[in-house]
Amino acid sequence: MNWWPLGLMVLLFLTGMPIVLSVGFCSVLYVIFVAAVPLSIVPQQVIGGMDTFLLLAIPMFILAGSLMGEADVTKRLVALSTSLVGWVRGGLAQVSVMTSAIISGISGSGLADAAATGSALIPVMRKSGYGKGFAAAVTGCSSVMGPIIPPSIIMVVIGGLTNISIGKMFLGGLVPGLLLAVMFAAICYFIAVKRNYPVQARFSWPLVWVAFRGALPSLGLPLIIIGGILSGAFTPTESAGVAAAYVILLGLAHRTFVWKDFYRSVVETGVVSGTVMFIVGVSAVFGWILVNENAGDGIASALSGVTSDPTLMLLLVVGVMLVLGCLMEALAILILVVPVLLPVLIATGVDPVHFGVVATVALSAGLVTPPFGLTMFLMCKLADVSVEEFALESIPFFVCIGVALGLLIFFPEIVLWLPNLLMGKQ
């Protein structure tokens, strides 16, 4: 294999060039000087990589997440969460965890979830006596559930890059996401007791009923998405369009839409979607190079020399993803890792759906890990804290994520039980 394009790519990345531009530039150099094929292969591969029906889900889920605030969804879900768990010690932290878990079933984006819950809860938590570092940490780390609990943009991209069933990955992510929610809630309780954080509100069935009635239309969306996929009413891709349309209808019904804000959300969706699709297109060129160089066989041989045990192999790959997640954006890691390593994992006996869900959890963790976590930067800005303070307060939540990953790797049925039950084994 010609290693100089890869070496140049790493060098450019270390100089500060965005990974997608590094990959694209080195791919063009490879086509010109190594493959010696017409340069037209580059746009062909880019268009071919983006020309996938599955990827239509990405802009729709992004739009749904962007519109949640304008449609009054976030406010109503926060009110419901407060009525349910506000009476627990450290109630607002529990509200943050529960709200993130519920919103995860709408947007499919950890960053969108963090923006929605963070802007609504961090100022309130600070006024109520919570440390601003803890407020940022609990809100940011809770948003890790966003891409895990269905729907999930990361799972859609994995499905687009591979042939893994998106519907099965959606179902496979439900139990791990709820497991994380329980672990986060437990950690919040112990920290709140130790620091004597306040109780937010008394429990009252009338208040729960009022909040539930107000949030009921919003709660219906996750059920519609999952139910529609399982019943065959629509595909995972079409479910994204249903989600976006449903959020728009909620905004109209609640009479909270300002068309200027709607226009801003649409433009924001176009910008973010364009960035994602550009990354996917460039990844297709990089994938063509890897196939042309038989890189998969070389990597498979190297990893097979380390271990042939499927559990240890998956553990090794997840370790690589976690390290890369501290340095790179999740979609860039998908470009470099998933298409190359998935055949190796399948050859050793790893279930592709199991890998897809575990990879999603590992990549989601990268959103809040220093030094380059996007959600981490957003939370630090909202709470006005340093990266060091955020990282220190996040250590208990990082431990939870690590324990959850270990359980998912060593006990695959946690992931596979629900998809196999509802959709059958492959």
Report pLDDT digits (tens) over 118-142.
Answer: 877 888 888 888 999 999 999 999 9
d(CA 31, CA 39): 7
Confidence (pTM): 0.80
Whether residue 34 is contained in a domain is answered as yes
User: 73 in a domain, yes or no?
Assistant: yes
Nearest in space to 367 (alpha carbons), one of 399, 402, 322: 322
Record the tokens describing residue 375, joined without a space: 């959600």
Residue 15 lies in a domain: no
Task: Please name the residue that has the structure tokens 């687009």.
Answer: 160
Mean pLDDT of the chain: 84
What are the φ and ψ backbone dihedral angles of 159, each rounded to 5 degrees?
-65, -35
90 in Cβ contact with 193 (< 8 Å):
yes
Nearest-CA neighbor of 415 among 379, 362, 369?
Answer: 362
Q: At residue 277, what are phi and psi to the nearest 5 degrees?
A: -70, -35
Give the structural domain span for 261: 27-423
Identify whether 51 is part of a domain: yes
Tens of each residue's pLDDT in the chain, 426 residues = 566 777 787 788 778 787 678 888 888 888 888 887 888 888 888 888 787 776 777 788 778 877 877 778 888 888 888 888 888 888 889 999 998 888 887 766 777 778 778 877 888 888 888 999 999 999 999 989 988 998 888 898 888 778 888 889 999 999 999 999 999 999 999 999 999 888 877 888 898 999 999 988 888 877 787 778 777 788 777 887 888 888 888 888 888 778 888 888 888 888 878 877 887 788 778 778 877 777 656 666 777 677 778 899 899 888 888 887 776 667 777 777 787 788 888 888 899 999 999 999 999 998 888 866 778 888 888 888 888 899 999 999 999 999 999 999 999 999 999 999 888 775
Residue 213 CB-density burial (10 A; 0-12 exposed, 13-18 middle, 19+ buried):
exposed
Q: Is residue 11 one of the residues assigned to a domain?
A: no
Is 391 contained in some domain? yes
Note whether residue 8 is domain-resident: no
What pLDDT digit, counting tens, does each position of 168-188 carry? 999 999 999 999 999 999 999
Q: Residue 227: what are its φ and ψ, rounded to 5°?
A: -60, -40
Residue 7, in any domain of the structure: no
In whole angstroms, what is the distance from residue 217 CA to residue 75 CA? 13
Q: Which of 375, 393, 391 is nearest to 192 (CA)?
A: 393
- The domain total for the chain is 1
d(CA 300, CA 297): 5
CA dihedral of residues 265, 269, 275, 279 (deg, nearest 10): 150
